[in-house]
Amino acid sequence: MKYTNICRTLVSLMLYYMLDDRYIYVIYKPNENGIKSTLVTISVSKHDNVLIYEEVLD
């Protein structure tokens, strides 16, 4: 029996940025075999101190 070793590269993406009215943190995490990737966005308002959390399963 012959085995093949397959190397896969999973790339995560993290972004931090600031707009005029809020701070934003974005994370993209690809997953392995059959598990959907995840996109998480967290934003915090500078004026109202409100945190918004969004999670999208692709």
Q: Where are the domains of the chain?
A: 13-57
Residue 3 above 70 pLDDT? no
3-state helix, strand, coil in the chain (%, to 5): 0, 50, 50
Beta-bridge partner residues of 22:
45
Retrieve residue 17's tokens: 């940025």
Residue 58 above 90 pLDDT? no
The pLDDT assigned to 7 comes to 47
Residue 9 above 70 pLDDT? no
Q: Is residue 56 a contact partner of residue 39, using CB atoms and an 8 Å limit? A: yes
d(CA 29, CA 15): 12
The pLDDT assigned to 2 comes to 47
pLDDT tens figures, 15-57: 888 989 999 999 888 877 667 788 899 999 999 989 999 998 7
The pLDDT assigned to 25 comes to 92
